[in-house]
């Protein structure tokens, strides 16, 4: 594998670290506004899964020494599209975005950006990333194992997040007719 491949993966890792810094800053701001955290018990597992993903990806690449193929353009393009949606979702949420589940009682949920089309665009992005990034480099075991672990964590996380948002925000009223993951045209609110 050429150096650019490791620089590419390294840049994604740096992006994730930068996002953690932003998330921690947003958490402090929201807590100062009266917000609280839910889902603390599963958060460390999610963090470990994401860290393990990068170690597994690099290890599988070193072990297999894959050659980039022309079909790798498909998962690469999907990954790039996912990054654009990620930025759209994060900037749409602004200070309310976090890697943790932070709920501000009485807040009105964000309905702009990709949230006008679905409830959880950022989770869709993560699903695409954990599948497509390894596929670019033929790291099939990493794609299979970490996509499966992610789906397990999301099945717990989304229930916890939606329960808290329904109890303490206008989430139910706003997102009642929006799908969790499949985009559909926004409706007038």
DSSP codes of every residue in the chain: --HHHHHHHHHHHHHHHHHHHHHHHHHHHHHHTT-EEE-TTTHHHHHHHHHHHHHHHHHHHHHH-PPP-GGGHHHHHHHHHHHHHHHHHHHHHGGG--SSEEE-TTPPPP-SGGGGT-S-HHHHHHHHHHHHHHHHTT-HHHHHHHHHHHHHHHHHHHHHHHHHHHHHSSHHHHHTTS-SSS-------
Domain ranges of the chain: 3-168
Q: Is the pLDDT of residue 189 over 50?
A: no
| The CATH classification of domain 3-168, taken from the options 3.50.50.60, 3.30.310.10, 1.20.120.1630, 1.10.8.60 | 1.20.120.1630
* pTM (whole model) above 0.85: yes
pLDDT in tens, 109-131: 998 999 989 889 999 999 999 99
Q: Give percent above pLDDT 90 in the chain.
A: 77
């Amino acid at each position: 594998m050429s150096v650019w491949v490791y620089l590419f993966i390294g840049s994604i890792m740096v992006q994730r670290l930068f996002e953690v810094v932003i998330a921690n800053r947003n958490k402090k701001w929201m807590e100062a506004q009266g917000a609280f955290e839910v889902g603390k018990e599963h958060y460390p597992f999610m963090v470990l899964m994401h860290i393990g993903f990068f170690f597994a990806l690099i290890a599988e690449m070193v072990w297999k020494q894959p050659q980039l193929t022309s079909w790798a353009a498909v998962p690469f393009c999907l990954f790039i599209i996912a990054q654009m949606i990620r930025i759209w979702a994060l900037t749409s949420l602004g200070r309310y975005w976090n890697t943790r589940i932070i709920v501000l009682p009485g807040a009105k949920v964000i309905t702009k950006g990709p949230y006008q089309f679905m409830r959880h665009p950022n989770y869709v992005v993560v699903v695409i990333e954990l599948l497509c990034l390894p596929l670019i480099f033929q790291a099939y075991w990493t794609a299979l194992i970490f996509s499966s672990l992610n789906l397990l964590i999301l099945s717990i996380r989304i229930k916890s997040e939606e329960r808290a948002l329904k109890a303490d925000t206008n989430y139910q009223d706003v997102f009642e007719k929006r799908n969790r993951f499949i985009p559909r045209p926004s409706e007038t609110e």
